[in-house]
Chain A
Amino acid sequence: KAGVTQTPRYLIKTRGQQVTLSCSPISGHRSVSWYQQTPGQGLQFLFEYFSETQRNKGNFPGRFSGRQFSNSRSEMNVSTLELGDSALYLCASVKQTSTDTQYFGPGTRLTVL
């Protein structure tokens, strides 16, 4: 069974631009969660999607948004990029609920210049 994939793996953007990241979960998994990882703040929860609906949201500004498609693939978008948005963005695939293991993708390394 293929694992969680994320594209692109690396991105360099400038302040003010916007970016879209993509995550394909494990086949059969219906839930995708997104996390931001930085050296200072560690792993922080962004949001979770289940059956195309946002089921939970962390404490991030509205510049961070996401969506999920009918095939469970998910995208997250960051608008008006700031230097502090530089981070590793990880998505996690879950079969259905948080009683199931969260499998992480390799991440997208975003650098904002």
Chain B
Amino acid sequence: GENVEQHPSTLSVQEGDSAVIKCTYSDSASNYFPWYKQELGKRPQLIIDIRSNVGEKKDQRIAVTLNKTAKHFSLHITETQPEDSAVYFCAASKVGGSQGNLIFGKGTKLSVKP
């Protein structure tokens, strides 16, 4: 089955710096890759997602890139702010066949220091 590896497990940056989180997946049939942000004591919330027919997607300070050949995708946060501090999870899913479940990475705890 699918396996998603996420690195690093912790990341500390200064406010205003960029943060990059990387994930690799094992199932070449996966074609949907969302990123979730989870603040302490709260539910995971989708921040951006990408589908396999797209190589890059941006939403203000957040961008995701996908390399299907290498089976990895990355989250880029620019101009980080203290409110970006949270745990970020990447996930992979297949559309078609067995649907509806996300296989998550173990998460990255991002700390943004003012």
Contacts and interface: CB of A to CB of B under 8 A. Distances in A.
B34 A48 contact: no
Interface residues of A, number: 25
Contacts of B89: 42-43
A94 B49 CA distance: 15
Interface residues of B, number: 25
Interface in B27-67: 32, 34, 36, 42-46, 49, 51
Contacts of A56: 98-101
Interface of B: 32, 34, 36, 42-46, 49, 51, 89, 91, 93-95, 98-107
Query: Max chain B CB contacts within 10 Å: which of A92, A94, A98, A103?
Result: A98
B47 to A, nearest CB: 11
